[in-house]
Structure 1
């Protein structure tokens, strides 16, 4: 490629803040693969956050870029899979797209096609735009993709704080997980946390039903496995907590030993796995690292812990939950999905097509 900016380029990053800062430009925070896409004529390169090329995994995105991007351009954005039937973004389906077999890549590109949401313009023609103020880059982005057709979109943006607050509340119902705020005069600075992100934070009381040991020692807890009871009174695996100081990991290991049990009679035993229930045993082999041991030690589901989480993806926490406090006052059977705050539903198509 012969562009003003050539791959690889690390994307500009965001740091978390508690509240929406005033006086900035605001965008929805998309839940996908961060990507900088380079087009030079018939050549297209899709770069990932870690600078590794993803071009081969998304042939339908390549075709969409050729049909919609200016002939010579570099655009920062997010690759997403939009599940219109469920009216949400499907990150799990997106993860499945990273597959070594070309035949599988082709099949998935047809079954779960991806799209691209653009939110910054780094280069156009022979111009390097990274030193321009973000407000100007945003205006140029809207101009150069004014006629773009799905699955290429320009992310909505607003400079009105009230609108951003409304988006923060409403857009979660379409599978988005917060807001990104950018100063209007912000230059594009690769690999630096110069933007801010505001994400939803909530708490839930969960049952501790197992643990995995830490990679450093057999007498340290690596993560605690969390469950919630569904409407059938079945304990469903919803995620893990695993960020503990090393001393606490050893203390937890000792504390948990009296709860260690066998899989016989445990809600996440092999029988439940065979029947198709959502249990951690479904993931004992990691598709990302075949050498990673994801088996776990079952515990009698008697302890309750309060955790912080951002939002749910299906039946599970989208990201690793964070420890808040133990809840000895709560009965495990009271830890149900009914306690969770449900975001107001919002039409994903309306987010994708608004600017």
Structure 2
């Protein structure tokens, strides 16, 4: 069950009647964790692959849960005071050498021993999840969740420095539908506003499609989505005095480099980041 992306956090009545549950959105590997008694735990990725061999501490913790318990969760890594998504791609040995902690943050309960609970409302599944994990120590723990929108926004801002991406907002009465969430689950990802250097434009000189930008940390990105007609006209007017002859870029194809960089304001969202053009800077 996957949430749809939205550009604003919905109000308490924004996903239909019954209220909204707001959860922290964490940066990790989504997995469904199956406790299977005497058999090894199974950590099913979104592609169906078993992640257990790559994350033995998490698999061992799930194996200690009652047989038949099934959790929908995010497998996360923590290093130096913040969530560290990139550590999940490293080998077990490399993570151990860098003092990386792993966690399984459960946000839904799909089954209890002998009982499929997916048809129950989310509020009931949340209550059962908290009861099931009440005496379970880390690395397994329930996600922070609230029905108070203001509290959720305060959490998101306060925990941004630790790598919290945003919020997942769910209709409190929603059942768990494996084939899709529709609009009863949505995700809001906070955007960071940054300035960057415009190194080139794509498309035609008179009607640029996108900007090739360089961030302060040296990363080079192509803005998306395509510039609006008004944005394209303003960029073309500003870039015209600085356009060099067209060149072939191995990543972006035909580009029009600038002999002197312009500065642009962007919003960065997601992982890897998507750079969305906001405006050219007057300075």
Q: Structure 2 length as normaliser, TM-score? A: 0.77
Measured after TM superposition, the shift of residue 163 of structure 1 is 1.6
Q: Which of 261, 277, 283 is residue 302 of structure 1 equivalent to?
A: 261
Q: Distance in 1 between matches of 2:200 and 2:138?
A: 44
Q: Which string of whole-angstrom CA distances, capped at 9 and with x for unpartnered residues, describes residues 72-114 of structure 1?
A: 221101011111x3x21111222x23xxxxxxx3313523342
Deviations 1:306-353 (A, max 9, x none): 211248xxxxx86221122333x22xxxxxxxxxxxxxxxxxxxxxxx
Residue 302 to residue 132, structure 1, CA distance change in 2 (3 Å): same
Matches within 5 A, 1:198-237: 198-209=188-199, 224-228=212-216, 236-237=217-218
Listed as ranges, the matches of 1:91-170 within 5 Å are 91-94=85-88, 96-97=89-90, 105-111=91-97, 112-170=100-158
> 1:141 Cα deviation (Å)?
0.7
Alignment partners' CA distance in 2, 1:92 and 1:222: 28
Provide the C-alpha distance between the structure 2 equivalents of 1:223 and 1:59, rounded to a whole number of angstroms: 44
Residue correspondences, number? 259
Partner of 2:280: 326
2:49 to 48, 52, 58: 52
Unaligned ranges ≥5, structure 1: 1-10, 98-104, 215-219, 229-235, 262-292, 312-316, 331-355
Q: How far 1:204 sits from its partner (Å)? A: 2.3
Unaligned runs of 5+ in 2: 13-18
Q: 2:244 aligns with which of 254, 258, 261?
A: 258
Q: Does 1:39 align with 2:71?
A: no
Confirm or deny that 1:181 pairs with 2:169.
Answer: yes
Report the CA distance shift for 1:247/1:182 in structure 2 as closer, same or farther (over 3 A).
closer
**8 Å CA contact retained: 1:225, 1:237:** no
Q: 1:110, 1:54 → 2: CA distance?
A: 17
Give SS of 1:28's match.
Answer: strand
CA gap 1:165/1:294 in 2 versus in 1, 3 angstroms: same
Residues 18 and 295 of structure 1: CA distance in aligned 2, closer, same or farther (over 3 Å): closer
- Residue of structure 2 equivalent to 1:290: none
Q: Quote the Cα distance in structure 2 between the aligned partners of 1:207 and 1:131.
A: 51
